């Protein structure tokens, strides 16, 4: 059955308040920009906004009737009931895909999902925070720019970036690459994904020929011209072929759906139709074939690394899958967080985002102006806002993302709430952030890999973060763990706030945005990071430094 996914505009409420209405519009928005909305999939092959359509419809119905002082509980995308709480309590509390440790394996997840007892919320899919590829663009751009600063004199002009995967997460790569002035080649097995990225302005051109793709990249390099090329093909075939030809890109990564060997990754030699049939009929064979392809894929990445390319894992579990397939040195490839972004996370600087619930782009432009005025001395923020205004098209509800840290998020949230109150903005604004944030994720192969104190696998931190945000009056709080191939690998927390212009929203924003980043600084200070200890001291965060 085909569904329609309208993006609601204006100030007419269908719910009993803007807190409920804002969350409803965010749910509608993730489906409007999702990969496979008819199946409620937002991104990453399995990341769902709700468990099934009856669950979705009941969530919508409940948000429309939910009163102040009531809280909706959601368990793995299924609404399970409404509780009488109080006016300052969250509107929605959810827990998605949390399986007891010894059972948290891919095969157990698939078994539970087949019984419709669980679904994976991804990171920002199940709690309705995804804003399209823009939500990933700045993080990808910041990675590229840190590589540029460390290795290439400040930008990637004249440099060749090779990557793969143009889904809901990977689709940010071509635009982030060209914003960093690179010539970037993006390999993707599903041509419809390439077409989608071109249609929204994230990708310049496409080809089915590796020869043509490399020729376009070489020409752009020689002219030091930005260019993004989508190549229809399988990375497990294309990467080794590029190695064989003796071509060495300057930067190599990957963002295929390698985290899931059944519903994500496409093995070499298989068509999309064949893979869809095998998912039901031969999942074990499909997992084996995907693993063999990933072994070749990562083997080529390691060859590029030996030849001098800057190679990194972009967070899709591909090194882990390769190691399980016998590539014992797959972790010679560093993870992006540890390699490039940890000093930012140690100060709780991370991907913070806001969404114009009015569907009015002018609201975002006005907040852009505010950012440039208030944070003009913050080079990361001012540079990004100016670039995003020029290069990043809106998808669904107009939104913006910027890497703001402790205190900055609170300052912006309160100022935006004032702008809603005095009519400068046409409707309320939703604030949220990525789960990949300082205090919000434990993932020993991504966010918390190589922590200084060895605390990589300890999941207390995102659980504490979620409880703190509930106590701080957030509008939505979620705890997510991995599903599919991510089962057993991660736990994270999400939070959403609606700036509706009220004094009550001032209190919610002040408490939640301040405490959310405080727990992030505390997490890294506890692990012994000097940047975090300095941030805690400078910002008067009441962190205890006790001996381990």
3-state helix, strand, coil split of the chain in percent (to 5) is 45, 15, 40
Residue 134 confidence (pLDDT): 81
Reduced to 3 states (helix: H, G, I; strand: E, B; else coil), residue 6 is coil
Residue 348 confidence (pLDDT): 98
Domain positions in the chain: 18-114, 134-334, 342-538
Summary mean pLDDT of the chain: 96
Q: How many residues does the chain have?
A: 548
Secondary structure letter of residue 527 according to DSSP: T
> Which residues in 357-437 belong to E strands, given as ranges?
399-404, 429-433
Whose CA is closest to 249, among 218, 226, 273, 272?
A: 218
Tell me: the pLDDT tens digits for 303-331?
Answer: 999 999 999 999 999 999 999 999 999 99
Tell me: the pLDDT tens digits for 487-540?
Answer: 999 999 999 999 999 999 999 999 999 999 999 999 999 999 999 999 999 999
| DSSP secondary structure string for all residues of 152-220 | STTS-TT-EEEEE--STTGGGHHHHHHHTT-EEEEEES-HHHHHHHHHTTS--EEES-HHHHHHHHHHH
**Integer Cα distance of 497 and 231 in angstroms:** 40
Q: Please check whether residue 146 is in contact with residue 362, taking contact to mean a CB–CB distance below 8 angstroms.
A: no
CATH class held by domain 134-334? alpha beta
The two tokens of residue 218 are 């070489």
Tell me: the pLDDT tens digits for 394-435?
Answer: 999 999 999 999 999 999 999 999 999 999 999 999 999 999
Q: Which residues contact 2 (CB under 8 A, 6 or more apart)?
A: 38
Residue 169 confidence (pLDDT): 84
Residue 539 confidence (pLDDT): 95
Would you say the C-alpha torsion 276, 280, 285, 290 has a positive or negative sign? positive
The two tokens of residue 97 are 């895909």
**Integer Cα distance of 168 and 395 in angstroms:** 12
> Which residues in 347-490 belong to E strands, given as ranges?
350-356, 399-404, 429-433, 441-442, 476-481
**Integer Cα distance of 378 and 47 in angstroms:** 34
Residue 1 confidence (pLDDT): 60
Structural element, H or E, at residue 408: helix 408-421
Whose CA is closest to 440, among 496, 357, 519, 354?
A: 519
Q: Can you say whether residue 117 is alpha, beta or left, with left for phi > 0 and alpha for psi between -120 and 50 degrees?
A: alpha
Element counts in the chain: helices (H) and strands (E) = 19, 17
CATH class held by domain 342-538? alpha beta
**Integer Cα distance of 508 and 312 in angstroms:** 38
Tell me: the pLDDT tens digits for 203-239?
Answer: 999 999 999 999 999 999 999 999 999 999 999 999 9
The parts of the chain modelled with pLDDT lower than 70 are: 1-2
**Model pTM?**
0.93
Whose CA is closest to 393, among 230, 199, 128, 164?
A: 199
| DSSP secondary structure string for all residues of 487-503 | TTT-EEEEEEEEE-S-H
């Amino acid at each position: 059955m085909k569904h329609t996914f309208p993006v609601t505009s204006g100030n007419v409420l269908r719910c009993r308040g803007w807190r409920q209405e804002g969350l409803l519009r965010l749910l509608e928005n993730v489906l409007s920009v999702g990969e496979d909305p008819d199946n409620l999939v937002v991104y990453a092959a399995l990341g769902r906004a709700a468990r099934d359509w009856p669950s979705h419809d009941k969530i919508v119905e409940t948000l429309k009737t939910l009163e102040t002082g009531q809280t909706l509980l959601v368990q793995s995308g299924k609404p399970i009931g409404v509780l009488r709480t109080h006016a300052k309590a969250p509107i929605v509390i959810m827990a998605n895909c949390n399986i007891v440790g010894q059972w948290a394996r891919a095969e157990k997840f698939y078994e539970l999902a087949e019984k419709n007892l669980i679904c994976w919320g991804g990171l920002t899919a199940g709690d309705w925070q995804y804003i399209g590829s823009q939500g990933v663009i700045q993080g990808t751009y910041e990675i590229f720019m840190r590589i540029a600063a460390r290795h290439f004199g400040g930008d990637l002009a004249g440099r060749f970036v090779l990557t793969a995967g143009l889904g809901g997460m990977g689709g940010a790569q071509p635009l982030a690459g060209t914003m960093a002035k690179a010539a970037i080649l993006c390999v993707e097995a599903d041509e419809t994904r390439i077409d989608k990225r071109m249609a929204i302005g994230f990708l310049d051109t496409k080809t089915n020929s590796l020869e043509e793709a490399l020729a376009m990249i070489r020409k752009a390099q020689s002219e030091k011209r930005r260019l993004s090329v989508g190549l229809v093909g399988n990375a497990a075939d294309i990467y080794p072929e590029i190695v064989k030809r003796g071509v060495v890109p300057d930067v190599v990564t990957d963002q295929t759906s390698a985290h899931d060997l059944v519903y994500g990754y496409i093995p070499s030699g298989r068509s999309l139709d064949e893979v869809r049939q095998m998912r039901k009929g031969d999942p074990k064979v499909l997992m084996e074939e995907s693993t063999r392809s990933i072994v070749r894929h990562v083997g080529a990445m390691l060859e590029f690394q030996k030849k001098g390319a800057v190679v990194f894992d972009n967070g899709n579990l591909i090194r882990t899958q390769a190691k399980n397939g016998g590539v014992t040195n797959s972790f010679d490839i560093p993870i992006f967080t540890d390699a490039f972004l940890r000093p930012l996370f140690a100060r709780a600087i991370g991907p913070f985002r806001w969404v114009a619930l009015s569907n009015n782009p002018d609201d975002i432009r006005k907040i852009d102006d505010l950012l440039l005025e208030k944070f003009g001395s913050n080079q990361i923020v001012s540079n990004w806002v100016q670039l995003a205004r020029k290069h990043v098209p809106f998808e669904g509800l107009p939104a913006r993302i910027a890497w703001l840290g402790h205190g900055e998020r609170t300052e912006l949230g309160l100022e935006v709430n004032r702008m809603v109150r005095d009519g400068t903005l046409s409707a309320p604004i939703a604030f949220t952030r990525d789960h990949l944030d300082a205090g919000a994720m434990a993932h020993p192969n991504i966010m918390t890999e190589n922590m200084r104190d060895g605390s990589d696998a300890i999941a207390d931190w995102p659980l504490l973060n979620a409880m703190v945000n509930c106590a701080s009056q957030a509008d939505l709080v979620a705890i997510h763990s991995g599903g599919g191939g991510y089962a057993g690998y991660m736990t994270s927390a999400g939070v959403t706030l609606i700036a509706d212009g009220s004094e009550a929203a001032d209190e919610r924003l002040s408490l939640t945005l301040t405490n959310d980043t405080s727990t992030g600084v505390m997490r890294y200070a506890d692990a012994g990071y000097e940047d975090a200890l300095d941030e805690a001291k400078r910002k008067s965060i009441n962190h205890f430094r006790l001996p381990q």
